[in-house]
Chain A
Amino acid sequence: MLLALSYKMKIYHHIDEFKPVKNAVVTIGTFDGVHLGHRKIISRLKELADANGGETVILTFFPHPRMILHPEDENIKLINTINEKAQLLEQLGVDHLIITPFSRDFSNQSAEDYIRDILVNKIGTQKIVIGYDHRFGKDRRGGLNDLLHLAPIYGYEVIEIPEQDINDVAISSTRIRETLSKAEIETANTFLGYPFFITGKVVRGDQLGRQLGYPTANIMIEERYKLVPGDGIFAVKVQVNNNEYNGMAYIGIRPTLNGMKQRIEVNLFGFNEDIYYQPIRMEFLHFVRHDMKFNNLDELKIHIAKDKEEVLRLLDR
């Protein structure tokens, strides 16, 4: 992103790195997707912090326990990698991001230990913004009522996000993940409030696209837990080498070539440079069509030309 940020969000990879700040306004959550619902919480957080010269703090959890215990489990897919999430939160103007792993000790804490040790003593929470349904502590027994009960005792204020507000937005990370898996890009983007994107590196493919007249960059994503949209052809915007290009992307196993492994490829319009091993960021703007198997490469080539026309039309709108 070519966003000029006048400040930098501070990131902590352990709760102990964090030094209590003045008037900390805190919220807790996984914030997968940093979607419109999350944005509502964060803007409330910022309002409260601005009102009395405080600083905004987000406490998030990474990695998820299942990711540590079952690294081979392919079912845990997240809308954002932890770095993408940090980027998005920084764009929203969050001051501090604490990334803490879900250790066993951590999840065995009683609600009161958690509130006293982490929220009060380590973070110095003055205000906490929290959804009515937020659970924490041992067996997830802690909740909003515990936070309310301990508020006068430990001297912080609880700002509850009412059920109505959360339901009004009618957005959940789970729902966005479902729409993305079905390649419903436009719907997902509406919920997210920004175009869904992936970040990765350009790797060598088998140069087949070049032979077809559509050279593609093969994108490798390092994080196995990153959610990749369902198979299909997409209209995209790509940032690479400090430039932005339009393009058409392909996600699928290349059935015409009897492929097995899922590929993410992108053909950049008006571009022909060597970008191997460069970091690349790709924004998904529109879904064009589902993946199809063609009888031969010529048929495929003809269809790619049609796809390109459609992509140009969509991007031009």
Chain B
Amino acid sequence: MQLDSTSIKIKQFNFAEGELLLVNKPYTWTSFDVVGKLRNSFKPLKLKVGHAGTLDPLATGLLIICTGKMTKQIDTFQAEEKEYTGTLVLGATTPSYDMETEVNEKFDTSNLTADQIRNACKRFIGDIQQYPPAHSAVKIDGERLYEKARRGEEVERRLRNVTISEFEITRVELPEVDFRIVCSKGTYIRSLVHDFGKALNNGAYLSKLTRTRSGSYHVDDAWEVMELVDVIKAESKSQRLKAKHKFIISLKLCAFGFKLQNEDLPPH
């Protein structure tokens, strides 16, 4: 059973009191899908569940989930520095800057050298200004940018100040380029990749992205979603069982003249 292989990760959970959970977001899931799935697994308990730092559906990797009172600290986790690894494709651009939309422009990459590519990324290290992609969840006038973009509307985007503390190229096999980046909160990797393509007098879009770290939390320590769902269910089942046992004991004690107290009642 799943539970046995992962039981080493299990400590004493208290989801209602507040837990911080590290989850590896699956490919194509939205960050909200993950939250929804977990929230469901707590049923019939109704728990507050939230996430810090949205990942695009096509990205994978570390998603920080907070339950119960821990949700109050989401902003703190959100503000942490992030590390990503990913792959970008040179020689083409897409409107969404990733693979969600089709290629709209192509460029010749035959003259690009690995040195040029490595040198260009140095220019992005430091405090930089970037536009959120037109296909992004940023809200303008109460509407998300991607909603306007899908209608084909021109969207006014505002530059935001972000800090790139590390940016390195780890593999060049044109048109693919692997990279690793450490950046401040709110950095759009898609935008960075798009600008990076322009810096090479070329085009680029993001084809793969994994968040490996957020603050001091690492994806290596993260749960797979289904794994965690099993644990949650098992945990709450055992808690229900414990409560049931406690209730039975209380009933027995009752028979000896002890008064039954509210907390002795079993949950549902």
Contact = CB atoms under 8 A, between A and B. Distances in A.
B199 A149 contact: no
B144 interface: no
B159 A146 contact: yes
Given A145-B129, A148-B128, A153 B195 contact: yes
A149 B123 contact: no
A152 B124 contact: yes
Contacts of B129: 145-146, 148-149
A149 B130 contact: yes
Kindly name the residue among A148, A152, A154 whose own CB sees the greatest number of chain B CB atoms within 10 A: A152
A152 B123 contact: yes
B139 interface: no
* A contact patch SS: helix
A154 B124 CA distance: 11
A149 B158 CA distance: 11
B198 A153 contact: yes
Contacts of A148: 127-129, 159
B199 A145 contact: no
A152 B159 contact: no
Interface string A54-68: 000000000000000
A145 B159 contact: yes
Contacts of A146: 129, 159
Interface string A141-158: 000011011011111000
Nearest to B191: A149
Contacts of B130: 149
Contacts of B198: 153
Contacts of A145: 129, 159
Contacts of B127: 148
Contacts of A152: 120, 123-124, 128, 195, 199
A148 B128 CA distance: 7
Given A145-B159, A146-B159, A153 B131 contact: no
Chain B: number of interface residues, binned into ranges = 10 to 19
A135 to B, nearest CB: 14
Interface in A132-174: 145-146, 148-149, 151-155
A259 B262 CA distance: 106
A153 B123 CA distance: 8
Nearest to B127: A148
A287 B156 CA distance: 53
A307 to B, nearest CB: 59
A141 to B, nearest CB: 10
B159 A149 contact: yes
B207 to A, nearest CB: 20
Given A149-B129, A149-B130, A155 B199 contact: yes
Nearest to A156: B123
Contacts of B128: 148-149, 151-152
A282 to B, nearest CB: 48
Nearest to A148: B129
Contacts of A151: 123, 128
Interface in B122-178: 123-124, 127-131, 159
A148 B198 CA distance: 15
A148 B159 CA distance: 10
A151 B161 CA distance: 13
Interface string B189-230: 000000100110000000000000000000000000000000
Nearest to B198: A153
Nearest to A154: B199
A43 to B, nearest CB: 25
A314 B65 CA distance: 79
B199 A153 contact: yes
B57 to A, nearest CB: 26
A146 B129 CA distance: 8
B24 to A, nearest CB: 31
Interface string A235-246: 000000000000
B159 A155 contact: no
A101 B123 CA distance: 33
A154 B120 CA distance: 10
A151 B129 CA distance: 9
Nearest to B128: A152
B123 A155 contact: yes
A273 B198 CA distance: 67
A112 to B, nearest CB: 10
Contacts of B195: 149, 152-153
A146 B158 CA distance: 10
A145 B120 CA distance: 20
A266 to B, nearest CB: 53
A27 to B, nearest CB: 20
12 contacts: A145-B129, A148-B127, A148-B128, A149-B195, A152-B123, A152-B124, A152-B128, A152-B195, A152-B199, A153-B123, A153-B198, A153-B199
Q: Enumerate the 8 nearest inter-chain pairs by beta-carbon distance, A residue then B residue, closest first.
A: A152-B123, A149-B129, A148-B129, A145-B159, A152-B124, A153-B199, A153-B198, A145-B129
Given A149-B130, A149-B195, A152-B199, 16 more contacts: A145-B129, A146-B129, A146-B159, A148-B127, A148-B128, A148-B159, A149-B128, A149-B131, A149-B159, A151-B123, A151-B128, A152-B128, A152-B195, A153-B195, A153-B198, A153-B199
